[in-house]
Amino acid sequence: MEGQIRQSLSGFYDVFSDGTLYRTRARGNFRKKRITPLVGDRVEFESETPKEGYILKILPRHNALTRPPVANVDQGIVVTAVKAPDFSTNLLDRQLIALEISQIAPVIYFTKTDLITPAEIAKFETLAAGYREIGYPVILTAQPFEQTGLAQLRELLKDRVSVIMGQTGAGKSTLLNHIAPDLKLATGEISTALNRGRHTTRKVSLMPVAGGLVADTPGFSSYDTLTLDYRELGQYFPEFAALAPQCRFRGCVHINEPNCAVKAAVDAGTVLQSRYATYLQLVTLLKNQKPVYHKKK
């Protein structure tokens, strides 16, 4: 049979197939090959009863995260407070880059808009327009949890596997409780898991929410070290990557090179200044990072 791992808990994998959950284990040879099935994996399995079965094969993954340990993630909802904690474009951009590197489509959801003035909201609207221009869906409403915003998010969650990420206190649990009020009992679990993922059980699951699946543990933090060459960073800024072919030099890193299309766009105001500032800061960081040495085999 074929199915999708929806939950893992102490060596058991609950595989969803054709409307039924099957409790399975991984065959011994997986451990020998050091392959660990992940929640989100599509698998071939055999099972005579829903209580007992074996995973035979893991089908190719699109991607795999370590935090949370979930495979085949389609999108990351970056829950971002406009205030409390203070908003920072730098932090938002770092989260977007982390998602881009993992090939996960970002969605930006602004929270706590009740804590700022209409004038400040207008500034966020300008910023939101800039991010939409890049191609990222941005959800921003004048008051928190307005139906229009929630409906947009539900539509995006539908038929996709999502992880929720965002700073502590950004409002991740609160948002999920609004999105899935019908899951009262389950959302209690979601918030516990989202609140203190690290301290609770090592259970990982995908919860059915709004016609899609949402990981019950929040996504990696933007402070995870970036392990890439600074020359590759531009690839993870989609608007830079789109302009790069117009730069005069192939392999332009958009810093000191003449006739750089990215710098020209920053000057013209068609690329967000704040994005370029984040880029420069990360380039410096990556250049100063100690190289990771790999032992010769």
Ligand X SMILES: Nc1nc2c(ncn2[C@@H]2O[C@H](COP(=O)(O)OP(=O)(O)OP(=O)(O)O)[C@@H](O)[C@H]2O)c(=O)[nH]1
Q: Which is nearer to ligand X, 5 or 179 (CB)?
A: 179
Q: What's the min distance (Å) between Cβ of 247 and Zn ion?
A: 3
Identified binder of ligand X from the candidate list 4, 95, 152, 173, rule CB under 6 A: 173
**Residue 133 binds which entry of ligand X, Zn ion, none, CB below 5-8 Å type-dependent:** none
Can you tell me the distance from the alpha carbon of 190 to that of 283, in angstroms, rounded to the nearest whole number?
Answer: 36
Does residue 37 contact residue 4 with C-beta atoms inside 8 Å?
no
The answer to whether 170 touches 219, Cβ cutoff 8 Å, is: no
Instruction: Give the relative orientation of helices 118-134 and 273-288 as an angle to the nearest 10 degrees.
Output: 70
Residues in contact with Zn ion by the rule CB under 5 A: 247, 252, 254, 260, 262
Distance (Å, whole) CA 123 – CA 35: 48
Residue 131's Cβ-side half-sphere holds a number of Cα atoms within 13 Å equal to 23
Q: Which of the choices ligand X, Zn ion, none does residue 165 contact, using the CB cut-off of 5 to 8 A by kind? A: none
Query: How far is the first Cα of the chain from the last one, in angstroms, to the nearest whole number?
Result: 39
In the complex with ligand X, the residue whose CB is nearer, 111 or 152, is 111
- The yes or no reply on residue 169 touching ligand X (CB under 6 A) is yes
Minimum distance from residue 281 beta carbon to ligand X (Å) = 25
User: Within 10 Å of residue 98's Cβ, how many Cβ atoms?
Assistant: 23
Annotated binding-site residue? 294: no
Asked if residue 260 belongs to a known ligand binding site, the reply is yes
Q: Which two tokens stand for residue 118?
A: 């209409």
Q: Site mask, ligand X, residues 247-276, x = CB under 6 A?
A: ------------------------------
Alpha carbon dihedral 95, 96, 98, 102, in 10-degree steps, equals 140
Binding to ligand X in span 71-110, by CB under 6 A: none
Q: Which stretch binds ligand X (CB under 6 A): 90-98, 119-127, 164-172, 219-227?
A: 164-172
247 is in an annotated binding site: yes
* 190, amino acid identity: I
Confirm or deny that 188 is annotated as ligand binding.
no
> Residues 130-149 vs ligand X: string with x where CB under 6 A?
--------------x-----
The answer to whether 252 is annotated as binding is yes
Q: Which two tokens stand for residue 60?
A: 């190719």
Of 67, 70, 146, nearest in space to 111 by CA: 146
Quote the Cα angle for 214-235-137, to 5°.
40
**Rounded to 5 degrees, what are φ and ψ at 252?**
-60, 130
Q: Binding string, 111-130, against ligand X, x = CB under 6 A?
A: xx-xx---------------
Q: Residue numbers of the site for ligand X (CB under 6 A)?
A: 111-112, 114-115, 144, 166, 168-174, 194-195
Binding residues: 111-114, 166-174, 247, 252, 254, 260
